[in-house]
Chain A
Amino acid sequence: MSARIGAVVIAAAALAACATAPEYGPIGQTGPWGYSDVQNPDGSYTIRVVALTSTMAHEYWDRRAAELCGGTNFQKNIFRAEIPVVTQTGYVTGPNGYGGSYTQDAYGSLIMEGYLRCGAAAEAAAAAPAEAAAPAEVAPAEASAPAAQ
Protein backbone atom coordinates (compact mmCIF):
# COMPACT_ATOMS: atom_id res chain seq x y z
CA MET A 1 0.00 0.00 0.00
CA SER A 2 1.50 3.31 -1.00
CA ALA A 3 2.01 6.08 1.49
CA ARG A 4 -0.58 8.20 -0.32
CA ILE A 5 -3.29 5.57 0.06
CA GLY A 6 -2.29 5.11 3.68
CA ALA A 7 -2.75 8.79 4.33
CA VAL A 8 -6.17 8.78 2.72
CA VAL A 9 -7.30 5.77 4.76
CA ILE A 10 -6.16 7.30 8.05
CA ALA A 11 -7.71 10.66 7.20
CA ALA A 12 -10.99 9.01 6.21
CA ALA A 13 -11.10 7.07 9.48
CA ALA A 14 -10.34 10.17 11.52
CA LEU A 15 -13.05 12.16 9.79
CA ALA A 16 -15.71 9.43 9.78
CA ALA A 17 -17.33 10.67 12.99
CA CYS A 18 -17.56 14.21 11.65
CA ALA A 19 -19.37 13.09 8.52
CA THR A 20 -22.31 11.49 10.33
CA ALA A 21 -25.50 13.51 10.05
CA PRO A 22 -27.19 14.26 13.39
CA GLU A 23 -29.78 11.66 14.23
CA TYR A 24 -31.95 11.40 17.34
CA GLY A 25 -30.80 8.66 19.66
CA PRO A 26 -28.52 7.90 22.59
CA ILE A 27 -25.15 9.66 22.51
CA GLY A 28 -22.56 7.28 21.14
CA GLN A 29 -24.98 5.00 19.34
CA THR A 30 -26.03 7.53 16.72
CA GLY A 31 -22.88 9.65 16.69
CA PRO A 32 -21.63 12.39 18.98
CA TRP A 33 -25.04 14.08 19.14
CA GLY A 34 -28.09 12.82 20.93
CA TYR A 35 -29.19 12.30 24.51
CA SER A 36 -28.20 10.47 27.67
CA ASP A 37 -30.26 10.17 30.81
CA VAL A 38 -30.15 8.74 34.26
CA GLN A 39 -32.83 8.22 36.90
CA ASN A 40 -32.19 10.00 40.19
CA PRO A 41 -32.86 8.49 43.63
CA ASP A 42 -35.96 10.71 44.04
CA GLY A 43 -37.53 9.27 40.88
CA SER A 44 -36.76 12.25 38.66
CA TYR A 45 -34.44 12.03 35.67
CA THR A 46 -31.48 14.03 34.51
CA ILE A 47 -31.40 14.37 30.73
CA ARG A 48 -28.36 15.62 28.87
CA VAL A 49 -28.37 16.39 25.19
CA VAL A 50 -25.56 17.30 22.82
CA ALA A 51 -26.76 19.05 19.70
CA LEU A 52 -25.79 21.26 16.81
CA THR A 53 -28.33 24.02 17.35
CA SER A 54 -30.48 25.41 20.11
CA THR A 55 -33.62 24.19 18.38
CA MET A 56 -32.22 20.70 18.05
CA ALA A 57 -31.17 20.67 21.72
CA HIS A 58 -34.66 21.56 22.88
CA GLU A 59 -36.30 19.14 20.47
CA TYR A 60 -34.10 16.27 21.63
CA TRP A 61 -34.60 17.13 25.29
CA ASP A 62 -38.38 17.35 25.04
CA ARG A 63 -38.62 14.23 22.88
CA ARG A 64 -36.60 12.20 25.35
CA ALA A 65 -38.66 13.63 28.23
CA ALA A 66 -41.87 12.56 26.48
CA GLU A 67 -40.44 9.08 25.93
CA LEU A 68 -39.47 8.71 29.59
CA CYS A 69 -42.76 10.10 30.89
CA GLY A 70 -45.00 8.51 28.30
CA GLY A 71 -46.45 11.86 27.31
CA THR A 72 -45.94 15.58 27.56
CA ASN A 73 -47.16 16.00 31.13
CA PHE A 74 -43.84 16.72 32.78
CA GLN A 75 -41.91 19.45 34.53
CA LYS A 76 -38.43 20.41 33.41
CA ASN A 77 -35.72 22.45 35.00
CA ILE A 78 -32.86 23.15 32.63
CA PHE A 79 -29.81 23.92 34.75
CA ARG A 80 -27.13 23.91 32.09
CA ALA A 81 -27.06 25.29 28.56
CA GLU A 82 -23.53 25.80 27.39
CA ILE A 83 -21.43 25.99 24.26
CA PRO A 84 -17.91 24.93 25.20
CA VAL A 85 -14.87 26.08 23.29
CA VAL A 86 -12.78 23.27 21.87
CA THR A 87 -9.28 23.38 20.49
CA GLN A 88 -8.86 21.95 17.04
CA THR A 89 -5.60 20.99 15.43
CA GLY A 90 -5.17 20.17 11.79
CA TYR A 91 -2.96 20.09 8.78
CA VAL A 92 -3.73 21.81 5.49
CA THR A 93 -2.09 21.48 2.13
CA GLY A 94 -1.95 24.47 -0.21
CA PRO A 95 -2.19 24.52 -4.02
CA ASN A 96 1.61 24.52 -4.28
CA GLY A 97 1.77 21.14 -2.53
CA TYR A 98 3.27 22.51 0.69
CA GLY A 99 1.35 22.33 3.90
CA GLY A 100 1.34 23.45 7.48
CA SER A 101 -0.27 22.51 10.76
CA TYR A 102 -2.46 24.79 12.82
CA THR A 103 -4.19 24.93 16.18
CA GLN A 104 -7.25 27.05 16.70
CA ASP A 105 -10.27 27.30 18.96
CA ALA A 106 -13.83 26.80 17.82
CA TYR A 107 -17.23 26.57 19.41
CA GLY A 108 -18.15 22.99 20.21
CA SER A 109 -21.53 21.33 20.19
CA LEU A 110 -24.31 22.68 22.39
CA ILE A 111 -24.77 20.90 25.70
CA MET A 112 -28.05 21.11 27.54
CA GLU A 113 -28.84 19.38 30.81
CA GLY A 114 -31.87 19.45 33.04
CA TYR A 115 -34.05 17.67 35.55
CA LEU A 116 -37.24 15.98 34.45
CA ARG A 117 -40.13 15.13 36.71
CA CYS A 118 -42.93 13.15 35.13
CA GLY A 119 -46.56 13.85 35.84
CA ALA A 120 -45.97 17.29 37.29
CA ALA A 121 -47.69 20.37 35.96
CA ALA A 122 -46.28 21.46 32.65
CA GLU A 123 -46.25 25.21 33.34
CA ALA A 124 -42.58 25.22 34.23
CA ALA A 125 -41.76 23.52 30.96
CA ALA A 126 -43.53 26.25 29.06
CA ALA A 127 -41.55 28.88 30.96
CA ALA A 128 -38.24 28.08 29.28
CA PRO A 129 -37.66 31.09 27.04
CA ALA A 130 -34.91 29.59 24.90
CA GLU A 131 -36.74 29.66 21.60
CA ALA A 132 -37.29 33.40 21.79
CA ALA A 133 -33.60 33.97 22.22
CA ALA A 134 -32.51 31.51 19.57
CA PRO A 135 -31.29 33.90 16.84
CA ALA A 136 -28.55 35.31 19.03
CA GLU A 137 -27.65 32.24 20.99
CA VAL A 138 -27.12 29.81 18.15
CA ALA A 139 -25.04 32.17 16.07
CA PRO A 140 -21.57 31.27 17.27
CA ALA A 141 -22.10 27.57 17.07
CA GLU A 142 -23.60 27.67 13.65
CA ALA A 143 -21.15 30.16 12.25
CA SER A 144 -18.31 27.69 12.52
CA ALA A 145 -18.42 23.96 12.16
CA PRO A 146 -19.16 22.69 15.65
CA ALA A 147 -16.88 20.05 17.01
CA ALA A 148 -18.30 17.02 18.72
CA GLN A 149 -17.70 16.67 22.42
Chain B
Amino acid sequence: MRILIGAIAAIALAGCATAPQYPTMRPLTDAHMATMSATPVVVSENNNGVEKAWFYTSTSSAGAAYGIIGVLVTTAIDAIVNAGPSRRAQKAADEIAELIDADALNASLVEQVRLQTPAAQAEAAAAAAAAAAAEQGAAAQQAGLTEVAVTNAAAAAPVEAAVIPVAVTTPSGVYYENVTAAQRLTARTPQNDVVEIAVRYTLSEDSSTLRVIASASYQSTATPYTTRNQFTGSVPRAEREGPAYRNTFTYYSTQLPVPTLTPELRERLIANIQDSVRDANGNLPAEGTDDYQSMQRELENARDNRLSKDEIAIFLTREWIRDNGAMLRREIEQAHAFIAKYVLLDMNRTDVPSMAGQDALLETMADSRTVRRVGAGTEAGSYISSAGNVGSFSTYGNTIGIARVHNARIERVRAAARNAR
Protein backbone atom coordinates (compact mmCIF):
# COMPACT_ATOMS: atom_id res chain seq x y z
CA MET B 1 0.00 0.00 0.00
CA ARG B 2 2.88 2.36 0.76
CA ILE B 3 4.17 1.70 -2.72
CA LEU B 4 0.77 2.63 -4.10
CA ILE B 5 0.73 5.90 -2.14
CA GLY B 6 4.25 6.65 -3.32
CA ALA B 7 3.39 5.97 -6.93
CA ILE B 8 0.29 8.18 -6.86
CA ALA B 9 2.14 10.98 -5.10
CA ALA B 10 4.97 10.74 -7.61
CA ILE B 11 2.53 10.95 -10.51
CA ALA B 12 0.74 13.91 -8.94
CA LEU B 13 4.03 15.76 -8.50
CA ALA B 14 5.66 14.74 -11.77
CA GLY B 15 4.41 17.75 -13.66
CA CYS B 16 5.88 20.18 -11.15
CA ALA B 17 9.34 18.72 -11.11
CA THR B 18 10.76 18.97 -14.59
CA ALA B 19 9.89 22.15 -16.51
CA PRO B 20 12.65 24.78 -16.53
CA GLN B 21 11.58 28.17 -15.22
CA TYR B 22 13.39 30.31 -17.76
CA PRO B 23 13.12 30.81 -21.52
CA THR B 24 15.31 28.56 -23.65
CA MET B 25 16.07 31.44 -26.03
CA ARG B 26 19.45 33.10 -25.47
CA PRO B 27 19.98 36.55 -26.95
CA LEU B 28 23.39 37.91 -27.86
CA THR B 29 24.95 40.72 -25.86
CA ASP B 30 26.48 43.90 -27.26
CA ALA B 31 29.89 42.44 -26.49
CA HIS B 32 29.10 39.28 -28.46
CA MET B 33 27.81 41.30 -31.38
CA ALA B 34 30.91 43.46 -31.50
CA THR B 35 33.09 40.35 -31.53
CA MET B 36 31.02 38.52 -34.13
CA SER B 37 30.24 41.15 -36.75
CA ALA B 38 30.71 39.20 -40.03
CA THR B 39 29.95 35.60 -39.15
CA PRO B 40 29.90 32.49 -41.31
CA VAL B 41 26.72 30.43 -41.34
CA VAL B 42 26.75 26.65 -41.41
CA VAL B 43 23.58 24.89 -42.42
CA SER B 44 23.56 21.65 -40.51
CA GLU B 45 22.54 19.18 -43.19
CA ASN B 46 19.08 17.76 -42.79
CA ASN B 47 19.04 13.97 -43.25
CA ASN B 48 15.42 13.04 -42.51
CA GLY B 49 13.89 14.94 -45.42
CA VAL B 50 10.22 15.76 -44.96
CA GLU B 51 9.01 13.62 -42.07
CA LYS B 52 5.47 12.35 -41.81
CA ALA B 53 3.99 12.60 -38.32
CA TRP B 54 1.76 9.83 -37.02
CA PHE B 55 0.38 8.69 -33.70
CA TYR B 56 1.68 5.48 -32.19
CA THR B 57 -1.17 4.06 -30.14
CA SER B 58 -0.13 2.24 -27.01
CA THR B 59 -2.40 -0.05 -25.02
CA SER B 60 0.16 -0.50 -22.25
CA SER B 61 -2.21 0.90 -19.62
CA ALA B 62 -4.63 -1.95 -20.26
CA GLY B 63 -1.98 -4.58 -19.63
CA ALA B 64 0.00 -2.82 -16.93
CA ALA B 65 -1.67 -4.74 -14.11
CA TYR B 66 -1.09 -8.17 -15.62
CA GLY B 67 2.69 -8.45 -15.46
CA ILE B 68 4.60 -10.12 -18.25
CA ILE B 69 1.44 -11.62 -19.78
CA GLY B 70 -0.05 -8.14 -20.03
CA VAL B 71 3.08 -6.81 -21.67
CA LEU B 72 3.11 -9.60 -24.26
CA VAL B 73 -0.57 -9.21 -25.08
CA THR B 74 -0.50 -5.41 -25.38
CA THR B 75 2.69 -5.55 -27.45
CA ALA B 76 0.96 -7.86 -29.92
CA ILE B 77 -2.13 -5.63 -30.01
CA ASP B 78 0.01 -2.52 -30.50
CA ALA B 79 1.79 -4.14 -33.43
CA ILE B 80 -1.51 -4.82 -35.20
CA VAL B 81 -3.07 -1.45 -34.35
CA ASN B 82 -0.03 0.54 -35.49
CA ALA B 83 0.95 -1.42 -38.58
CA GLY B 84 -1.38 0.53 -40.88
CA PRO B 85 -0.56 4.07 -39.69
CA SER B 86 3.15 3.25 -39.69
CA ARG B 87 3.04 1.94 -43.24
CA ARG B 88 1.04 4.92 -44.46
CA ALA B 89 3.42 7.40 -42.87
CA GLN B 90 6.36 5.64 -44.46
CA LYS B 91 4.61 5.67 -47.83
CA ALA B 92 3.83 9.38 -47.58
CA ALA B 93 7.45 10.16 -46.68
CA ASP B 94 8.65 8.00 -49.59
CA GLU B 95 6.37 9.76 -52.05
CA ILE B 96 7.58 13.18 -50.98
CA ALA B 97 11.23 12.14 -50.94
CA GLU B 98 10.95 11.12 -54.59
CA LEU B 99 10.31 14.77 -55.41
CA ILE B 100 12.23 16.64 -52.74
CA ASP B 101 15.03 14.91 -50.92
CA ALA B 102 17.21 16.14 -48.10
CA ASP B 103 19.83 17.53 -50.49
CA ALA B 104 17.21 19.72 -52.17
CA LEU B 105 16.04 21.00 -48.79
CA ASN B 106 19.59 21.83 -47.73
CA ALA B 107 20.39 23.57 -51.01
CA SER B 108 17.25 25.70 -50.73
CA LEU B 109 18.10 26.82 -47.20
CA VAL B 110 21.70 27.62 -48.16
CA GLU B 111 20.45 29.76 -51.03
CA GLN B 112 17.98 31.68 -48.87
CA VAL B 113 20.68 32.40 -46.29
CA ARG B 114 23.06 33.47 -49.07
CA LEU B 115 20.45 35.97 -50.24
CA GLN B 116 20.77 37.67 -46.84
CA THR B 117 24.53 38.23 -47.14
CA PRO B 118 25.63 41.83 -47.84
CA ALA B 119 27.05 40.80 -51.23
CA ALA B 120 23.77 39.20 -52.34
CA GLN B 121 21.77 42.10 -50.97
CA ALA B 122 23.93 44.53 -52.93
CA GLU B 123 23.50 42.45 -56.09
CA ALA B 124 19.75 42.40 -55.56
CA ALA B 125 19.67 46.16 -55.00
CA ALA B 126 21.71 46.76 -58.15
CA ALA B 127 19.44 44.48 -60.17
CA ALA B 128 16.38 46.26 -58.80
CA ALA B 129 17.91 49.64 -59.67
CA ALA B 130 18.70 48.46 -63.19
CA ALA B 131 15.18 47.12 -63.65
CA ALA B 132 13.69 50.36 -62.34
CA ALA B 133 15.85 52.42 -64.66
CA ALA B 134 14.91 50.28 -67.63
CA GLU B 135 11.24 50.55 -66.73
CA GLN B 136 11.55 54.30 -66.37
CA GLY B 137 13.16 54.54 -69.79
CA ALA B 138 10.47 52.46 -71.42
CA ALA B 139 7.75 54.50 -69.74
CA ALA B 140 9.32 57.73 -70.88
CA GLN B 141 9.46 56.54 -74.48
CA GLN B 142 5.84 55.43 -74.41
CA ALA B 143 4.70 58.75 -73.00
CA GLY B 144 6.18 60.55 -76.02
CA LEU B 145 8.30 62.91 -74.06
CA THR B 146 10.32 65.71 -75.59
CA GLU B 147 13.39 64.82 -77.57
CA VAL B 148 15.64 65.82 -74.72
CA ALA B 149 13.73 63.74 -72.24
CA VAL B 150 13.71 60.76 -74.58
CA THR B 151 17.42 61.14 -75.01
CA ASN B 152 17.83 61.09 -71.29
CA ALA B 153 15.58 58.09 -70.99
CA ALA B 154 17.40 56.32 -73.79
CA ALA B 155 20.59 56.94 -71.95
CA ALA B 156 19.07 55.27 -68.95
CA ALA B 157 17.53 52.34 -70.84
CA PRO B 158 20.71 50.48 -71.75
CA VAL B 159 21.37 50.16 -68.05
CA GLU B 160 19.48 46.86 -68.26
CA ALA B 161 22.30 45.42 -70.30
CA ALA B 162 25.05 47.34 -68.62
CA VAL B 163 26.70 46.13 -65.47
CA ILE B 164 25.84 48.36 -62.57
CA PRO B 165 28.71 48.47 -60.14
CA VAL B 166 27.77 46.53 -57.04
CA ALA B 167 28.60 48.54 -53.96
CA VAL B 168 28.72 46.22 -50.98
CA THR B 169 28.25 48.24 -47.84
CA THR B 170 29.31 46.72 -44.57
CA PRO B 171 26.27 46.46 -42.31
CA SER B 172 26.46 47.27 -38.65
CA GLY B 173 25.93 44.59 -36.05
CA VAL B 174 26.03 40.89 -36.82
CA TYR B 175 25.65 39.81 -40.42
CA TYR B 176 26.10 36.69 -42.52
CA GLU B 177 29.55 36.56 -44.04
CA ASN B 178 29.00 33.44 -46.12
CA VAL B 179 27.11 30.17 -45.93
CA THR B 180 28.04 26.53 -46.32
CA ALA B 181 26.39 23.21 -45.52
CA ALA B 182 28.00 20.62 -43.28
CA GLN B 183 27.09 17.11 -42.17
CA ARG B 184 26.62 17.30 -38.39
CA LEU B 185 24.68 14.11 -37.67
CA THR B 186 27.51 12.44 -35.81
CA ALA B 187 29.31 15.58 -34.66
CA ARG B 188 30.04 15.55 -30.97
CA THR B 189 31.28 19.08 -30.44
CA PRO B 190 29.72 22.38 -31.44
CA GLN B 191 31.38 24.42 -34.16
CA ASN B 192 33.31 27.44 -33.02
CA ASP B 193 32.46 30.98 -34.12
CA VAL B 194 29.81 30.09 -36.69
CA VAL B 195 26.05 30.47 -36.73
CA GLU B 196 24.65 26.98 -37.01
CA ILE B 197 21.14 26.43 -38.40
CA ALA B 198 19.44 23.04 -38.24
CA VAL B 199 15.96 22.47 -39.65
CA ARG B 200 13.25 19.81 -39.39
CA TYR B 201 10.33 19.43 -41.76
CA THR B 202 7.22 17.60 -40.59
CA LEU B 203 3.89 16.98 -42.26
CA SER B 204 1.04 16.91 -39.76
CA GLU B 205 -0.80 13.67 -39.07
CA ASP B 206 -3.46 14.47 -41.64
CA SER B 207 -0.87 16.02 -44.02
CA SER B 208 -2.85 19.27 -44.04
CA THR B 209 0.06 21.35 -42.74
CA LEU B 210 3.82 21.38 -43.16
CA ARG B 211 5.70 22.51 -40.08
CA VAL B 212 9.27 23.71 -40.45
CA ILE B 213 11.28 24.24 -37.27
CA ALA B 214 14.73 25.82 -37.36
CA SER B 215 17.14 25.94 -34.45
CA ALA B 216 19.83 28.57 -34.68
CA SER B 217 22.79 28.80 -32.36
CA TYR B 218 26.15 30.46 -32.03
CA GLN B 219 28.99 29.43 -29.79
CA SER B 220 32.50 30.78 -29.44
CA THR B 221 35.29 29.98 -27.05
CA ALA B 222 36.20 33.67 -27.13
CA THR B 223 32.82 34.77 -25.80
CA PRO B 224 31.32 32.11 -23.53
CA TYR B 225 27.70 32.28 -22.46
CA THR B 226 26.80 34.10 -19.28
CA THR B 227 23.19 33.86 -18.27
CA ARG B 228 21.17 37.04 -17.87
CA ASN B 229 18.21 35.22 -16.36
CA GLN B 230 17.60 35.84 -12.68
CA PHE B 231 17.71 32.89 -10.31
CA THR B 232 16.88 32.91 -6.63
CA GLY B 233 19.34 30.14 -5.78
CA SER B 234 22.34 28.88 -7.65
CA VAL B 235 22.38 29.09 -11.44
CA PRO B 236 21.31 25.73 -12.94
CA ARG B 237 24.06 23.84 -14.72
CA ALA B 238 22.25 24.09 -18.04
CA GLU B 239 22.51 27.86 -17.78
CA ARG B 240 26.24 27.85 -17.09
CA GLU B 241 27.29 26.35 -20.41
CA GLY B 242 26.32 25.98 -24.04
CA PRO B 243 25.82 28.44 -26.88
CA ALA B 244 25.98 32.21 -26.49
CA TYR B 245 22.98 32.51 -28.79
CA ARG B 246 20.08 30.12 -29.27
CA ASN B 247 16.58 30.42 -30.63
CA THR B 248 13.92 28.58 -32.62
CA PHE B 249 11.95 29.70 -35.66
CA THR B 250 8.79 27.85 -36.64
CA TYR B 251 6.93 28.12 -39.91
CA TYR B 252 3.47 26.65 -40.48
CA SER B 253 2.39 26.28 -44.10
CA THR B 254 -0.94 27.30 -45.47
CA GLN B 255 -3.40 24.60 -44.50
CA LEU B 256 -4.90 22.28 -47.09
CA PRO B 257 -8.66 21.87 -46.76
CA VAL B 258 -9.66 18.57 -45.21
CA PRO B 259 -11.68 16.43 -47.66
CA THR B 260 -15.27 15.53 -46.90
CA LEU B 261 -16.10 11.84 -46.71
CA THR B 262 -18.23 10.73 -49.64
CA PRO B 263 -19.05 7.19 -50.85
CA GLU B 264 -16.63 7.68 -53.74
CA LEU B 265 -13.86 8.79 -51.38
CA ARG B 266 -14.54 5.78 -49.15
CA GLU B 267 -14.12 3.42 -52.09
CA ARG B 268 -10.86 5.11 -53.06
CA LEU B 269 -9.66 4.74 -49.50
CA ILE B 270 -10.49 1.01 -49.42
CA ALA B 271 -8.73 0.48 -52.75
CA ASN B 272 -5.72 2.39 -51.47
CA ILE B 273 -5.49 0.23 -48.33
CA GLN B 274 -5.68 -2.98 -50.35
CA ASP B 275 -3.11 -1.75 -52.87
CA SER B 276 -0.68 -0.82 -50.12
CA VAL B 277 -0.58 -4.38 -48.71
CA ARG B 278 -0.49 -6.36 -51.96
CA ASP B 279 2.67 -8.36 -52.55
CA ALA B 280 4.77 -8.30 -55.71
CA ASN B 281 2.26 -10.62 -57.43
CA GLY B 282 -0.68 -8.43 -56.51
CA ASN B 283 -2.03 -10.81 -53.86
CA LEU B 284 -3.59 -9.66 -50.61
CA PRO B 285 -2.17 -11.03 -47.32
CA ALA B 286 -3.15 -14.62 -46.49
CA GLU B 287 -5.96 -15.05 -44.01
CA GLY B 288 -4.78 -15.55 -40.44
CA THR B 289 -1.53 -13.65 -40.82
CA ASP B 290 -0.71 -10.48 -38.86
CA ASP B 291 -0.74 -8.50 -42.10
CA TYR B 292 -4.22 -9.81 -42.84
CA GLN B 293 -5.50 -8.81 -39.40
CA SER B 294 -3.93 -5.40 -39.77
CA MET B 295 -5.53 -4.94 -43.17
CA GLN B 296 -8.93 -6.04 -41.86
CA ARG B 297 -8.68 -3.50 -39.08
CA GLU B 298 -7.81 -0.75 -41.55
CA LEU B 299 -10.70 -1.74 -43.80
CA GLU B 300 -13.11 -1.67 -40.86
CA ASN B 301 -11.93 1.84 -40.03
CA ALA B 302 -12.23 2.90 -43.65
CA ARG B 303 -15.85 1.72 -43.81
CA ASP B 304 -16.97 3.74 -40.83
CA ASN B 305 -18.45 7.19 -41.24
CA ARG B 306 -15.49 9.29 -40.29
CA LEU B 307 -12.09 9.98 -41.74
CA SER B 308 -9.22 9.54 -39.31
CA LYS B 309 -6.15 11.73 -39.49
CA ASP B 310 -4.02 9.18 -41.26
CA GLU B 311 -6.83 8.35 -43.69
CA ILE B 312 -7.08 12.04 -44.60
CA ALA B 313 -3.32 12.07 -45.07
CA ILE B 314 -3.56 9.58 -47.92
CA PHE B 315 -5.43 12.17 -49.97
CA LEU B 316 -3.69 15.32 -48.81
CA THR B 317 -0.16 13.98 -49.34
CA ARG B 318 -1.11 13.70 -53.00
CA GLU B 319 -2.09 17.35 -53.01
CA TRP B 320 1.40 18.27 -51.84
CA ILE B 321 3.13 16.30 -54.56
CA ARG B 322 0.85 17.42 -57.37
CA ASP B 323 2.50 19.47 -60.17
CA ASN B 324 5.92 18.12 -59.31
CA GLY B 325 5.50 19.27 -55.73
CA ALA B 326 5.03 22.92 -56.71
CA MET B 327 3.09 23.82 -53.57
CA LEU B 328 5.51 22.00 -51.30
CA ARG B 329 8.50 23.67 -52.93
CA ARG B 330 6.87 27.08 -52.58
CA GLU B 331 6.13 26.57 -48.88
CA ILE B 332 9.63 25.28 -48.19
CA GLU B 333 11.18 28.26 -49.93
CA GLN B 334 8.98 30.65 -47.97
CA ALA B 335 9.90 28.87 -44.76
CA HIS B 336 13.60 29.17 -45.56
CA ALA B 337 13.24 32.85 -46.44
CA PHE B 338 11.51 33.43 -43.10
CA ILE B 339 14.24 31.57 -41.23
CA ALA B 340 17.11 33.33 -43.00
CA LYS B 341 15.58 36.75 -42.45
CA TYR B 342 14.54 36.37 -38.83
CA VAL B 343 17.64 34.61 -37.58
CA LEU B 344 19.60 37.61 -38.82
CA LEU B 345 17.21 40.12 -37.25
CA ASP B 346 17.10 38.21 -34.00
CA MET B 347 20.87 38.01 -33.64
CA ASN B 348 20.88 41.80 -33.62
CA ARG B 349 18.45 41.99 -30.70
CA THR B 350 19.78 41.94 -27.17
CA ASP B 351 16.47 41.88 -25.28
CA VAL B 352 16.24 39.10 -22.73
CA PRO B 353 12.90 37.26 -22.98
CA SER B 354 10.88 36.79 -19.83
CA MET B 355 8.54 34.06 -18.70
CA ALA B 356 5.67 36.52 -18.35
CA GLY B 357 5.91 38.83 -21.35
CA GLN B 358 3.48 39.40 -24.19
CA ASP B 359 3.55 38.17 -27.78
CA ALA B 360 4.69 40.74 -30.33
CA LEU B 361 3.04 40.81 -33.76
CA LEU B 362 5.90 41.59 -36.15
CA GLU B 363 4.41 41.19 -39.58
CA THR B 364 1.00 40.68 -41.20
CA MET B 365 1.02 39.74 -44.86
CA ALA B 366 -1.61 40.21 -47.54
CA ASP B 367 -2.83 36.62 -47.16
CA SER B 368 -3.26 37.12 -43.37
CA ARG B 369 -0.07 35.21 -42.57
CA THR B 370 1.48 36.61 -39.42
CA VAL B 371 4.90 36.52 -37.87
CA ARG B 372 5.01 36.86 -34.11
CA ARG B 373 7.56 36.64 -31.36
CA VAL B 374 6.38 34.57 -28.42
CA GLY B 375 6.22 36.64 -25.27
CA ALA B 376 5.84 34.20 -22.40
CA GLY B 377 6.84 30.79 -21.13
CA THR B 378 9.87 28.71 -21.92
CA GLU B 379 9.38 29.48 -25.63
CA ALA B 380 9.53 33.24 -25.05
CA GLY B 381 11.63 34.97 -27.67
CA SER B 382 11.05 32.33 -30.35
CA TYR B 383 9.48 33.28 -33.68
CA ILE B 384 6.44 31.76 -35.35
CA SER B 385 5.18 32.35 -38.86
CA SER B 386 1.59 31.13 -39.07
CA ALA B 387 -0.86 31.00 -41.94
CA GLY B 388 -3.97 33.12 -41.47
CA ASN B 389 -7.52 31.90 -40.92
CA VAL B 390 -6.47 28.42 -39.94
CA GLY B 391 -9.37 26.04 -40.39
CA SER B 392 -8.82 22.61 -38.89
CA PHE B 393 -6.89 21.45 -35.85
CA SER B 394 -3.46 20.06 -36.62
CA THR B 395 -1.65 17.38 -34.67
CA TYR B 396 1.92 16.23 -35.03
CA GLY B 397 1.61 12.85 -33.31
CA ASN B 398 4.30 11.20 -31.23
CA THR B 399 6.22 9.41 -33.98
CA ILE B 400 7.56 10.18 -37.43
CA GLY B 401 7.88 8.26 -40.64
CA ILE B 402 11.12 8.77 -42.56
CA ALA B 403 11.53 7.88 -46.22
CA ARG B 404 13.56 4.79 -47.02
CA VAL B 405 16.08 6.79 -49.02
CA HIS B 406 16.66 9.02 -46.01
CA ASN B 407 16.99 6.12 -43.60
CA ALA B 408 19.63 4.72 -45.95
CA ARG B 409 21.33 8.12 -46.04
CA ILE B 410 21.46 8.26 -42.24
CA GLU B 411 22.93 4.77 -42.12
CA ARG B 412 25.61 5.77 -44.64
CA VAL B 413 26.57 8.86 -42.64
CA ARG B 414 26.79 6.85 -39.41
CA ALA B 415 28.81 4.10 -41.06
CA ALA B 416 31.23 6.64 -42.50
CA ALA B 417 31.65 8.22 -39.07
CA ARG B 418 32.32 4.82 -37.50
CA ASN B 419 34.92 4.00 -40.11
CA ALA B 420 36.62 7.33 -39.62
CA ARG B 421 37.14 6.72 -35.90
Contacts and interface: CB of A to CB of B under 8 A. Distances in A.
A104 B60 contact: yes
Interface in B258-282: 258, 260-261
* Contact count band on A: 35 or more
A94 B66 contact: yes
A21 interface: no
Interface string B246-262: 00000000000110110
Interface in B363-421: 368, 370, 372, 386-398
B383 to A, nearest CB: 13
B14 interface: yes
Contacts of A136: 206, 258, 261, 306-309, 312, 392
B60 A133 contact: no
B204 to A, nearest CB: 9
Contacts of A10: 5, 8-9, 12
A98 to B, nearest CB: 6
A100 B65 contact: yes
B64 interface: yes
Contacts of A90: 11, 61, 64
Nearest to B206: A136
A103 B392 contact: no
A104 B392 contact: no
B90 to A, nearest CB: 19
A135 B261 CA distance: 9
Contacts of A79: 370, 372, 386-388, 390
Interface stretch (A26-34, A63-71, A123-131): A123-131
B393 A54 contact: yes
Interface string A49-80: 00000100100000000000000000001111
B359 A46 contact: yes
Given A79-B390, A83-B395, A4 B1 contact: yes
A100 B70 contact: yes
B19 to A, nearest CB: 12
Contacts of A110: 393
B12 to A, nearest CB: 4
Interface of A: 3-4, 6-7, 10-11, 13-14, 38, 40, 42, 44, 46, 54, 57, 77-85, 89-94, 96, 98-105, 107, 110, 112, 114-115, 124, 127-130, 132-133, 135-141
Interface of B: 1-2, 4-5, 7-9, 11-12, 14, 55-56, 58, 60-61, 63-67, 70, 205-206, 257-258, 260-261, 306-309, 312, 358-359, 361, 368, 370, 372, 386-398
